[in-house]
Structure 1
Amino acid sequence: MKYSTVATDSLQKLVDVATKRWISISCLFDQADVDRSGDVTKEEMKDLLDQMHLSNSVNFDEIWDALDKDKSGEVTREEWDECFSAVAVAVAVVPSSDSTSNTFVSWRIKPSYRADVPGGLVALVAHNKMKAQMASFVGQNLEFFKHCRIITTGSTGKILEDSLGLCVYQKVSSGPLGGDQEIGALVTRGHVSAIFFFKDPLSAHQHAADIEALTRICDVHNVAYATNSASGKSLVTAMAFLGLGFGSSEESVTVKEYKAEQAQVIRRLSVIS
């Protein structure tokens, strides 16, 4: 369903403010539904916009007309999710109450999320004892990862392809055979937007130096790096709302200082020569 430009712009402003406060669209509905009736009334919606300090910067009538699809005077959760999905914003759907469900959260992602960063690869890596947890995590967030260009180490990628049908854009060598260094090289060239590396913290690793090098290079180039399912869920949430490159444009102070020092060295030695 298409909405007016005014309605779309107003809804996007609401999403932007909610995102800055780390409030998902689904949680925003819960915040608006003060009386817990399962529906949002006009007054509740006005109160929500007041809380978000948006009353004077959005068109309430246009927003309400878009949300209240059946013109009943109240907005259901289904109408809410459908509306925000239709205007191409990220929607976090409430987790199923069925405890056997394999879906933690479903995402509708802006198409631009795949192209908003040159390269835009998302790396998935897991040590042997963590591969089952990685497969479970990716399965729970499959709708998100299906919209990303995935790079993996060899065995992890094969498991994700076979068990989940995930399309892997590129597989590098196994970690102990240099795969971590291959991913690190891509990070250095600006091709990687985020890394999910589920590490086994209780085992020794013959390629520990490579793992440490990958961690360091992510810090150097300010690449998001999740090492367990808890940090992974947070990273998925951030990227789903803000895009793959939400932090990639920032450069650390130490890197800036290093570049400045190197520039001075080059100038000094160039004069000497």
Structure 2
Amino acid sequence: MNIAFLAHDKKKELMVQFCTAYKSVLQKHSLYATATTGRLIADNTGLPITLLLSHKQGGHQQINARIAYNEIDLVLLFTDPNTTDPWDDAQMIETIRHCDKQNVPIATNLASAEMFILGLQRGDLDWREMVHSKTRF
């Protein structure tokens, strides 16, 4: 499975803690993240992560493009509900919209992320493999 990580600034530490707690599950998958979030996760957990551009330089768009081409199977987007940056809100909404269009599971908080990771561990998201087989040429 290909898993993408994004986190608002105030949620980056929570994302690192989450990845530390579920390292044994995550290490079995391909991981992608925007630059700062990915670097923090990699530095603190040792997990190999494909680093994309930073959020402001287009990392969100890179993840959205991968979602659009069914190259991402799960998105963990830890959001700060108190953000006042309209650009951040617009990017978050765009990612959610892409996930909805492609039927990609997305978690925007710790509780839903834990549900998805535990489901991933049980094999509940294996149906995504069928999506890949149908979209390959």
**Same fold flag (TM > 0.5):** yes
Percent of aligned positions that are identical? 26
Alpha-carbon displacement from aligned partner over 1:25-73 (angstroms, at most 9, x marks no partner): xxxxxxxxxxxxxxxxxxxxxxxxxxxxxxxxxxxxxxxxxxxxxxxxx
TM-score, normalised via structure 2 length: 0.87
State the match for 2:93 in structure 1.
212
State the match for 1:225 in structure 2.
106
Q: Does 1:164 align with 2:45?
A: yes
Q: Which has the higher helix share?
A: 2
Which SS does the other structure have where 1:123 is aligned? Answer: strand
Q: Is the 1:135–1:159 Cα contact (8 Å) retained in structure 2? A: yes
Q: Which has the higher contact order (CA 8 A, sep 6+)?
A: 2
CA distance in 1, matches of 2:39, 2:96: 23
Which of these residues, 123, 145, 168, is aligned with residue 4 of structure 2? 123
State the match for 2:28 in structure 1.
147
Could you list the runs of 5+ residues in structure 1 that have no partner in the other structure?
Answer: 1-119, 251-273
Q: Is the 1:223–1:248 Cα contact (8 Å) retained in structure 2? A: no
Structure 2: which amino acid aligns with 1:240? Q
Structure 2: which amino acid aligns with 1:121? N
CA distance in 1, matches of 2:130, 2:32: 21
Alpha-carbon displacement from aligned partner over 1:79-109 (angstroms, at most 9, x marks no partner): xxxxxxxxxxxxxxxxxxxxxxxxxxxxxxx
Structure with max Cα Rg: 1
Which SS does the other structure have where 1:203 is aligned? Answer: coil
C-alpha spacing 1:171/1:243, structure 2 compared with 1 (3 Å): farther
Could you list the runs of 5+ residues in structure 2 that have no partner in the other structure?
Answer: 132-137
RMSD: 1.6
CA distance in 2, matches of 1:248, 1:145: 17
CA distance in 1, matches of 2:129, 2:60: 20
State the match for 1:238 in structure 2.
119
Q: Which runs of 4+ in 1 moved over 4 A?
A: 247-250
State the match for 2:134 in structure 1.
none
CA distance in 1, matches of 2:27, 2:128: 21
CA distance in 1, matches of 2:6, 2:61: 12
Structure 2: which amino acid aligns with 1:195? V
Q: Does 1:199 align with 2:69?
A: no
For residues 55-204 of structure 1, the aligned pairs below 5 Å read 120-168=1-49, 170-204=50-84
Alpha-carbon displacement from aligned partner over 1:158-178 (angstroms, at most 9, x marks no partner): 11111111111x211122222
Which SS does the other structure have where 1:192 is aligned? Answer: coil
TM-score, normalised via structure 1 length: 0.45
